[in-house]
Chain A
Amino acid sequence: MERREFFKKAVVTAGSVALGGSVVEAGETTHPVDDRKITPIAFPEKRPMIMYSDRPPLLESPRNVFTAALTPNDLFFVRWHMPMIPSHINTGSFKVKIDGLVNKELSLSLKDLKTKFKQVEITAVLQCGGNSRSAFHPTASGIQWGAGAMGCARWKGVRLKDLLEYAGVKKGANWLGFNGKDKAVYSETANFIRELELEKVDDTMILAYEMNGEDLPYLNGFPLRLIIPGMYSDSWIKMISNITVTETQNKLFFMEKAYRIPDNECECETPEKLVKKTKPIEKINVNSIIGYPEQGSKVRAEAHVVVRGVAFDAGSGIKKVRVSIDKGKQWHDALLDDGREGNHAFRAFRYTINPKKVGKLTIMCKAISNAGEEQPLAKDIKWNHGGYRYNGIDEVTIEVV
């Protein structure tokens, strides 16, 4: 009951913000912050991006990259947990180890991976579970990302399954632990280790060494990272150096506490009453974003403006993207690209508008997945303490002159 009242209030107050009011009341979900400036300092192998931290590096992609199915490597978002990242990898001596409950422990070089196993490619969306967290109010815990903590790339590498088969998983094994080469400043700090249930391993999960036809950039996990299509990126371990097969799950901070949402029907809670039973964030919510035009752009009346953006979900694929220019009264089907990058990729969409009336014009887009999921309005998204899994209908307001 308390929760219901809390969100009832949220719905009522949402209106004032839509009208431009600046008072934000607790509980209301808005749109993520969309006016952060690009920091004029380029990080290694990157163009200047929106920067939140240098140690560990945290970089967000600007909205205007989201007009194509593939996100350029040098504008691809970056999120590390540990500040000590090796500044040099010797590609000749780099090894990834597979140990624990296996018949033979493996220590594989990059050359081994490229020559002894089947080489596969998959295009998949990499998205932080906290992407768009700044939409949640009161401020949720974590970096206050705008909508650009995501990207989509064509990843090339070897199947995790093939490596496990080669090592021979022993009877009784249930879990995989992944560790990368990034470290904390103090050796007492636990590593950023993630775990995955062995039975969840499928053909789409790969250890990738290539991204969009190039080496992985250092800041995206050079020389090797885990790719788990359909899942938020918390377990896509970068600079992966170790895979340990175990019988039981370890008690690890990053598994027990981080990247979890309330395990109840609405997957929601209130700051006053946090839900004790939680579950991992896992599957990516259906989502879409307008890459062009951007907020505040000016266009001429009667000009044919091609609205462009991308849509995606956890892998069922995008059925439709719909666009509205009258605040959601009428929705029109956008044109979708040919979908050649597959169901785990961004699906680029476009829709031409021809605004006649001078003044402000709001463009909205929403995606509908093949699984039948549809994006909610931002104000209908319920709060969780970590600000995870936001997928509100995006909107951009332009000026017709």
Chain B
Amino acid sequence: MKKIFLVSLLFPIFLFAQVEGEIKVPYVDFPMKDGKGVYSTRGKCNMCHSFGYVINQGKQSRAFWLEKTVKMIKTFNAPIAEADIEVVVNYLYENYGSNDEHNNSVEVP
């Protein structure tokens, strides 16, 4: 009787033995281009997600970066002050803007 109890107790554990303990998603540092507003932008974006999530949107227009920054505040409630929007948008557009030759390739470390 005791044996049967043990087997049934272990059954689900046996089925899920692929990973024991915690998984660890590696931390990846995405270097940001140096430019005016880099520190402010780094802090604000990286609070919630990696900078890879930003630069892998490709080179984008000023309107795009403004819309996304506003979306982070309005839709996702990111704690970014309205006064700081301009700094972030300027940094993103100046360094990851679509003004120059169109280029989707992004350096991934």
Report which A residues bind B (CB closer than 8 A).
22-24, 33, 35-37, 39, 41-45, 50-58, 83, 85, 87-88, 91-92, 109-111, 114, 134, 137-139, 141-144, 184-186, 188-190, 214-215, 217-219, 222-223, 253, 257
Contact = CB atoms under 8 A, between A and B. Distances in A.
A83 B53 CA distance: 10
A185 B48 contact: yes
A57 B50 CA distance: 9
Contacts of A92: 12-13
B78 A186 contact: yes
A137 B105 CA distance: 14
A215 B16 contact: yes
Given A52-B52, A53-B53, A111 B19 contact: no
Interface residues of B, number: 41
Contacts of B106: 144
A52 B56 contact: yes
- Determine the main DSSP class of B at the interface with A: loop
Contacts, number: 136
A253 B75 CA distance: 7
Interface string B48-60: 1110110011111
B14 to A, nearest CB: 10
A144 B7 CA distance: 49
B43 interface: no
Given A22-B101, A53-B52, A54-B50, A41 B11 contact: no
B25 A54 contact: yes
Given A144-B106, A186-B77, A51 B12 contact: no
B48 A139 contact: no
B2 interface: no
